[in-house]
Amino acid sequence: MNFFIAGTDTNVGKTYITSLLLRSLRDNGVNAIGYKPICCGERTDAEILSQASGGASMDEVNPLWLKTPVAPWVAAQLENRNINPQPLVQAWKSLTIRYPSVLVEGCGGWEVPITDSYSMADLAREMGLPVILVIANKLGAINHSVLTVQAIRASGLNLAGIILNHLVDELDTACITNKKIIPQLCQAPLLAEVINGQDWIDLDWPASSL
């Protein structure tokens, strides 16, 4: 049960959602681990995934840490570093041998550049995993969601489903209607709806359909 956790943008709650998925899997007896190939800025995301993975080492969870909070390609240029994506792919392959479930969390949005000719979408394509798309439920989410879903499918990858993450407690009209409209337009199942800081709502995980 391996998935690539993508987001419609940065700061949409990918790490939060991935950690909940990991804890749910481990609670159900699955030895699952989170894998965030690249962190930019603080390494908090890797720390959260490490804890949710039963204490896996930080370097195992996050092999590449760039200190500047920008896109990986930009951060690498600012820090005079070169990124070779292949060790990131190899590290993932190593995890799949040792763990029955690896949840890979992307960095930023779908087309974030890792190098000048290799994006997060290219990394996901090399792994060939079904994608779970995390969407920040707010005004504008429809456009972000449809464009990202189109890009995922254009990459030849399977969209396993979408998760709506509410970043605020009070839901406006857009948030309420997005729950119906986005799955319909994206032609994808709504796996869960999550209120910020709370547990799952209407979640069937691990879902037999996945």
**Catalytic positions, written as ranges:** 36
Contact 37, 30 (CB under 8 A): no
The span from the CA of 39 to the CA of 99, in Å, is: 22
Q: Do β-strands 32-35 and 101-105 pair in parallel, antiparallel, or remain unpaired?
A: parallel
For 2, 36, 64, 134, 150, the CA distances from 58, given in Å and listed in that order, are 19, 10, 10, 23, 33
> 108 — alpha (psi -120 to 50), left (phi > 0) or beta?
left
Q: Which alpha helices (H) appear in 28-65, and where do they start and end? A: 44-52, 58-61
Phi/psi at 159 (nearest 5 deg)? Answer: -90, 105
Count of CA atoms in the C-beta half-sphere (13 A) of 64: 26
- Contacts with 27 (C-beta within 8 Å, 6 or more apart), sequence order: none
